[in-house]
Structures are given as structure tokens and as C-alpha cells.
């Protein structure tokens, strides 16, 4: 440990702690716009300068480790003036469009300007004239609003290892843009939206599709059915002042009905269905010598990445569609038939923690299996929060309601899809039953949980050891894939039988469309909420869901039947 003083008050911190982190521990917030706990510090914005007593230096607190015996001055009139000038210089290159900006109210630059009481900018205003990039169905880049903090580039390179965004040009002209002047959609971007979740201002944001849902609700001819994803229920509350992880499922159902939606379904139901399909696919491959490891395919950014960089692994990918797409196709077939409604009269929408889901619904790989687009529009958690606020819905005072039948009820296995390791655990709960004919006594498989970027475990089923691995955050996937390719090239047994990959660190609970402020403590609270939701359910395994059993009995026949393949499975393109 290191003994230091923070504004004269002695404290002890572990060696290597930055001044910024030490100050936070002492209850002091040093302003910073480029630093983020998910990213390596690089000291770009200059706001976090502090003084060291007895030294003329002004180190940047985010990128400087504390030194034994030093006394750090974090705030005084002189530092405040330096910081104010830095903010004023940013404002001189930033458009004054707060009223119409998607980040108004949550913008970190706006908050900074408010905290410093800036009333006028003493520099000439020069805003770069660069057009918006709206080439992807998922996110919009508005480089005019960029403050050059670099978070988007670092998250794309460090957490995701995608390198779709790069620092272009130098000095004052630096821009964060796709390399070689291409549009984002022509870059390696996998549409995960992590750049939008980390951007402190309104320079990168989710494409707004709220009008599409509102128009459908307004149309008296349309029957509007909306599903909500596992991770939305433990995060939407944050937009209304609740702690991360608080479960608000019943209120979300109620809120959607107040918006005028005709049927409220739950993606968790289809997560149970995915497990029936994928679990059956896994047991089949395991027992008949099929291509292993089986790799999960429900994360569209992961699929996009695999198709771009590892298309030789297509045979390893589960052909089961994601729960969102399964829910969509059932809404327009099974449910539509029961309601005696034509497919064209149903508008199917999904509330997702994810920007990439907006892209998934457009993929030309059997995503129109009902005869029309199976999911018509996707809104992120952030968009739903906005919609509820503009509709005057007092979310916190809503009663808890139930989802609609017959494709709304879910088990604990369905809900844990939202956390890293959850799809694997849900699959194991059912695979155990498929192989042994019995229920796994402990229900849970705690060995696959946690936050390590890559985790592996050996699970005994019927005397056979099943080797599984989990990766989250795309930067963690490469090593795992290389290990598998190496084993294959050497003619060895595959190192794993089953692999789960989620593009975002923590899984969908930290998706690119979730409420702002995601970092590890928030991730952990949302994950805790997900497992609490699992424990609350009377049924914890997908195969126990009576409504799933009914869908098979009345409609799909059995898992991986011809009809299941026609409706619930997809393929991949190189
Ligand atoms: Fe997920 Fe999903 S778990 S990808 O993370 O599989 O977005 O929450 O909805 O589809 O269920 C996201 C979350 C989903 C899907 C499910 C899967
Ligand atoms: Fe990079 Fe993801 Fe943003 Fe695309 S969406 S630029 S992959 S962080």
C-alpha cells in the first residue's frame, strides 16, 4: 500500500492506484470526460489535472499513479479556472444544440458546463461541418458533436477488438471515424453500440425507431405485439431513479399496455424455446459425433463478427435463431392463427438492450419466415424510457401486470439469458434432462457464472465430462477460437463441447442500448437482478415451461422438427 494525502487528509491506497481513483475513494469527484473505468486512461481531455504540494507539476489524475508521501490538491480556484477554460474551449467547437440533442439531460459536457456556471463562451465558435453517418440500421455518428475524448475508439479497440473506429488526422483536426473514409456500414463495425454507450455527449447514439412503433399503435388496423428482452427488466428502472438490478418486469408489461400495445410478450418465453432447439441440437451433435464445439448464435454482433472474421467456423454455429427472432415468428404464425388475424395485420416489436438487434431483424437469412418481416421494429431500453416519459406514464406507480398468453410465460432459465454465462447454464439445465431423463438436483450450474472475460468448466452429465467455455466482450473471443482451430488442425479432440459468446462485457445486461452509466459495479448489480429473477420463478428449466410443451404439441411437433427448422432456424453467410 501507499500512504498519501488527499487535500491534506491522510489515506492509504493500494500501490498503482491512480490519483483519480484514490480521490473517488475519498469521496471527491475530479472532473474528467475521457476517462472511463472500462478503458485504459490516456489523459486526452485535460480536465482532471491536479496539483502536487511542493511541485510545479500538474499531473493528469486519470493516468498518474499515486506516489508515497505526496499531498494532492484536487480543487482550488486556480484549478477550477484551468478546468473552466478547458470546458469553454470544448464548447467553442461544439454545436449549441442541447434542446434537440438526444443526450440532453444525460450529456456529460452539458453537466460540466452547468457545474462551472458557464454563461458565455469567450472564444470564437467553430463547429466542423461533417455529415452524419446513418449508414447502419443500429447507430448514428454525428461527428459535429464529437469532443475528441476518444472513448468510442478505445472501447471499439480495447473491449471489442474490432477497430471500426480510429483516430483520423492529427491535433485540432483529429476525428473519430471509420478508417479510410468509409461509411460505418462498410467498416468492420459489428453494431454492438458500445461506442454509443460510452460516448459522453450526443456524437454517437442509437437510431431512433420510436416513431415506427407509435405509428403502428395509432393504426386501428394493426394488432401490435411487443416482446421484452431478459436484460431490459433489470435496467429500465434506472431511467426512473431505481437502482441497477431492480426487477420491473410487471411494470414494463403494464407500461406497454398504457402505450396502447395490444399484446405483451416476453422474449424469455422464446429463450426457453431456443434452449429446447439448441439443447436438442447439442445433445444430437454430442451423441452422433456432429461438429463440436457447438457455439451459441443468439448475439447478432457476435454472428456479424464471426461472419466477417471466422466464417470457417460456420459449421460450429448453432442454427437456432435468437429468442427475439423465434418470438417474432411465433407471434406472426402460432399466435396470429389463434387470434385469427392475418400476418399482415400484426406489427411485431421488440424492446432490447441492444443496438445490434435493429440490424438482426433485417438479415436476409430466414428472418422473414412467417411470410413477412418477423420482427418489424426494435427499440432499445433507452428508447423505451424516452417513449414512456414523453407519454406521461408514471412508471414507478404502475401496478405489476402479467404477460399475455400463450407465448408470454417464462422459466428461470429464460431470464438468465441476459447475463454472461446464462445461455450456457440454461442449456445445461435442459441438456442434463435430455441426456439423463432426470432433473439436475442442484438446478444451477454456478461454475459458469462470473465476470472473468473467458471462463471454462467441466460438467459431469451421465458420467461424461462436458467441457464448456464462455467469453464476453469480443476482445476475449479470439484466443478461444484460435485454441479450437489449433486442436482441429492437429487432429485432436475439440477442447470444448459447447461455447457461449456475447459481444458485450457482462452479456446483454450491459448491451449498447442500455441506460447510460454502465460500468462494472452497475453490471454486477444488473446480473444479481437477473439471478434473483431466476430464483423467484417456480420453474427454473426451459423444458418445464407448460406453454413451451403446448407449442410443440399444437404447432411445432418436436424440437428440431421440419417445421421448427423452417421457422426457428437460420443459416450464415461468409
Ligand atoms: Fe439478449 Fe437474447 S439474451 S441476445 O443478450 O439469446 O439483446 O437481454 O433478448 O434474442 O432472450 C439481447 C438480452 C435477448 C435474444 C434472449 C438471446
Ligand atoms: Fe465499434 Fe461496436 Fe461502435 Fe461498431 S458499434 S464502431 S463495433 S463499438
Ligand 2 near 192 CB (within 6 A): yes
Pairing assessment for the beta strands 204-206 and 2-6 based on DSSP bridges: unpaired
Burial 137-147 (b: 16+ CB within 10 A, else e): bbbbbbbbbbb
Looking at the chain, which residues constitute the CATH 3.30.70.20 domain(s)? Answer: 89-206
Fold of 2-75: Ubiquitin-like (UB roll) (3.10.20)
Mutate which of 236, 267, 361 for ligand 1? The one with the most ligand atoms within 8 Å of its CB, which is 267
Task: For 89-206, give the CATH class.
Answer: alpha beta
CA dihedral defined by 300, 306, 311, 313, rounded to 10 degrees? -100
Q: Is 108 exposed, middle or buried (0-12, 13-18, 19+ CB in 10 A)?
A: middle
Ligand 2 near 66 CB (within 6 A): no
Looking at the chain, which residues constitute the CATH 3.10.20.740 domain(s)? Answer: 2-75
Sheet with 377-380, edge to edge strand ranges: 263-266, 223-228, 346-352, 377-380
* Nearest-angstrom CA–CA distance, 202 and 224: 31
Q: What is the ipTM of this complex?
A: 0.95
Cell of 564: 421448427
Mutate which of 328, 408, 508 for ligand 1? The one with the most ligand atoms within 8 Å of its CB, which is 508
* Domain 211-568, CATH: 3.40.50.1780
User: Is the torsion defined by CA of 179, 184, 186, 189 positive or negative?
Assistant: positive
Closest C-alpha to 294, from 281, 303, 304:
281
Looking at the chain, which residues constitute the CATH 3.40.50.1780 domain(s)? Answer: 211-568
Ligand 2 near 195 CB (within 6 A): yes
* Nearest-angstrom CA–CA distance, 373 and 362: 8
The tens-digit pLDDT sequence of the chain (574 residues) is 999 999 999 999 999 999 999 999 999 999 999 999 999 998 899 999 999 999 999 999 999 999 999 999 999 999 999 999 999 999 999 999 999 999 999 999 999 999 999 999 999 999 988 999 999 999 999 999 999 999 999 999 999 999 999 988 777 778 888 988 899 999 999 999 999 999 999 999 999 999 999 999 999 999 999 999 999 999 999 999 999 999 999 999 999 999 999 999 999 999 999 999 999 999 999 999 899 999 999 999 999 999 999 999 999 999 999 999 999 999 999 999 999 999 999 999 999 999 999 999 999 999 999 999 999 999 999 999 999 999 999 999 999 999 999 999 999 999 999 999 999 999 999 999 999 999 999 999 999 999 999 999 999 999 999 999 999 999 999 999 999 999 999 999 999 999 999 999 999 999 999 999 999 999 999 999 999 999 999 999 999 999 999 999 999 999 999 999 999 999 999 8
Pairing assessment for the beta strands 139-141 and 346-352 based on DSSP bridges: unpaired
* Nearest-angstrom CA–CA distance, 467 and 293: 9
Backbone angles phi, psi at 136, to 5 degrees: -95, 155
- Relative to the alpha carbon of 533, which ligand is closest? 1
Amino acid at each position: 500500500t501507499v500512504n498519501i494525502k488527499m487535500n491534506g487528509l491522510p489515506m492509504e491506497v493500494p500501490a498503482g492506484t491512480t490519483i483519480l481513483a484514490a480521490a473517488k475513494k475519498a469521496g471527491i469527484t475530479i472532473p474528467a470526460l475521457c476517462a472511463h473505468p472500462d478503458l485504459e486512461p490516456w489523459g486526452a481531455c485535460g480536465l482532471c489535472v491536479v496539483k502536487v504540494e511542493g511541485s510545479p507539476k500538474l499531473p493528469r489524475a486519470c493516468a498518474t499513479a499515486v506516489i508515497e508521501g505526496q499531498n494532492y490538491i484536487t480543487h482550488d480556484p486556480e484549478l477550477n479556472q484551468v478546468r473552466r477554460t478547458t470546458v469553454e474551449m470544448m464548447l467553442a467547437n461544439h454545436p449549441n444544440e442541447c434542446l434537440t440533442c438526444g443526450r440532453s439531460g444525460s450529456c456529460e459536457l452539458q453537466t460540466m458546463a452547468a457545474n462551472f456556471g458557464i454563461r458565455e463562451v469567450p472564444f470564437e465558435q467553430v463547429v466542423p461541418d461533417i455529415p452524419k453517418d446513418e449508414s447502419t440500421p443500429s447507430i448514428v455518428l454525428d461527428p459535429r458533436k464529437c469532443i475528441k475524448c476518444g472513448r468510442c475508439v478505445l472501447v471499439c479497440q480495447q473491449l471489442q477488438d474490432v477497430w471500426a473506429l480510429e483516430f483520423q488526422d492529427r491535433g485540432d483536426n483529429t476525428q473519430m471515424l471509420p478508417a479510410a473514409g468509409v461509411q460505418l456500414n462498410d467498416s468492420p463495425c459489428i453494431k454492438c453500440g458500445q461506442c454509443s454507450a460510452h460516448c459522453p455527449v450526443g456524437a454517437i447514439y442509437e437510431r431512433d425507431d420510436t416513431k415506427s412503433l407509435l405509428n403502428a399503435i395509432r393504426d386501428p388496423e394493426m394488432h401490435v405485439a411487443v416482446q421484452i428482452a431478459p436484460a431490459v427488466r433489470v435496467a429500465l428502472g434506472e431511467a426512473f431513479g431505481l437502482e441497477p438490478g431492480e426487477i420491473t418486469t410487471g411494470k414494463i408489461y403494464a407500461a406497454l399496455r398504457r402505450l396502447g400495445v395490444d399484446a405483451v410478450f416476453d422474449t424469455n418465453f422464446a429463450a426457453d424455446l431456443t434452449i429446447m432447439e439448441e439443447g436438442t441440437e447439442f445433445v444430437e451433435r454430442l451423441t452422433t459425433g456432429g461438429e463440436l464445439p457447438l457455439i451459441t448464435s443468439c448475439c447478432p454482433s457476435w454472428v456479424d463478427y464471426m461472419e466477417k472474421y471466422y466464417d470457417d467456423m460456420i459449421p460450429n454455429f448453432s442454427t437456432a435463431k435468437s429468442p427475439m427472432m423465434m418470438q417474432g415468428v411465433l407471434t406472426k404464425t402460432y399466435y396470429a392463427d389463434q387470434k385469427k388475424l392475418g400476418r399482415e395485420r400484426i406489427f411485431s416489436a421488440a424492446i432490447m438492450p441492444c443496438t445490434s438487434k435493429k440490424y438482426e431483424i433485417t438479415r436476409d437469412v430466414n428472418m422473414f419466415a412467417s411470410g413477412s418481416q418477423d420482427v418489424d421494429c426494435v427499440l432499445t431500453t433507452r428508447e423505451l424510457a424516452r417513449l414512456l416519459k414523453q407519454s406521461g406514464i408514471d412508471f414507478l406507480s404502475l401496478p405489476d401486470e402479467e404477460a399475455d398468453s400463450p407465448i408470454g410465460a417464462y422459466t428461470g432459465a429464460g431470464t438468465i439469458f441476459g447475463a454472461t454465462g446464462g445461455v450456457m447454464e440454461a442449456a445445461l439445465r435442459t441438456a442434463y434432462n435430455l441426456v439423463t431423463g432426470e432433473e439436475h438436483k442442484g438446478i444451477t450450474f454456478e461454475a459458469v457464472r462470473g465476470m472473468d472475460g473467458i471462463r471454462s468448466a467441466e460438467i459431469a452429465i451421465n458420467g461424461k465430462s462436458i467441457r464448456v467455455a464462455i467469453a464476453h466482450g469480443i476482445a476475449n473471443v479470439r484466443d478461444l477460437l484460435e485454441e479450437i482451430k489449433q486442436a482441429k488442425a492437429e487432429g485432436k479432440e475439440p477442447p470444448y463441447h459447447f461455447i457461449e459468446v456475447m459481444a458485450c462485457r457482462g452479456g446483454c445486461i450491459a448491451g449498447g442500448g442500455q441506460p447510460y452509466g454502465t460500468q462494472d459495479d452497475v453490471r454486477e448489480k444488473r446480473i444479481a437482478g437477473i439471478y434473483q429473477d431466476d430464483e423467484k420463478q417456480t420453474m427454473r428449466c426451459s423444458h418445464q415451461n407448460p406453454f413451451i410443451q403446448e407449442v410443440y404439441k399444437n404447432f411445432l411437433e418436436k424440437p428440431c422438427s421440419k417445421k421448427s427448422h423452417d421457422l426457428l432456424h437460420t443459416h450464415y453467410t461468409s
